[in-house]
Amino acid sequence: MKTLLITYHSITGGSKAMAQAVAEGAGTEPNTRTVLLHASETNAEHVLNAHGYVFVTPETLGSMAGLMKDFFDRTYYAALDQVNGRPYTVLVCAGSDGQGAVKQIQRIATGWRLTEMAPPHIVCTQAQTPEKILAPKTIAPADLQHCRDLGAAFAGGLALGLF
């Protein structure tokens, strides 16, 4: 049985909702085990035991969130040359454009020699004031459905050996 690891960090709930939607979609595939973990709980063993990865982060100051970076810092060297070729994708809950967070994770994935399974998905909340940035986020139903569909496709592809 293949394992899909979904690692996320969330500050205002948007990234968590996206990660949960991916897990819901992936859960429809009976031949793939889905592991949904907060970045602070994810360790190198989780990374090494997974066959594919979904990284979900909020955009923070134009970058990935600090706890997401901490996850990569803690697991990078243990996984280096151990996860080559495994598929991944990135989801970002952004206040502006999310590209900085995407680029950072793509660079790390390149170092791990991962293969991008699907293009990054950025949900832009247009939060540009301190009050809106810190407010709880509600993700639009269409974006949550995209996350569910992505999870189902990823888990299905793993189960079928497509990647």
pLDDT one-digit tens code per residue, 37-70: 999 999 999 999 999 999 999 999 999 999 999 9
Dist. CA 37–CA 95, nearest whole Å? 23
pLDDT one-digit tens code per residue, 136-154: 999 999 999 999 999 999 9
Q: Please, what is the end-to-end C-alpha distance for the chain in angstroms?
A: 14
pLDDT, residue 69, reads 98
Q: What is the pTM of this model?
A: 0.97
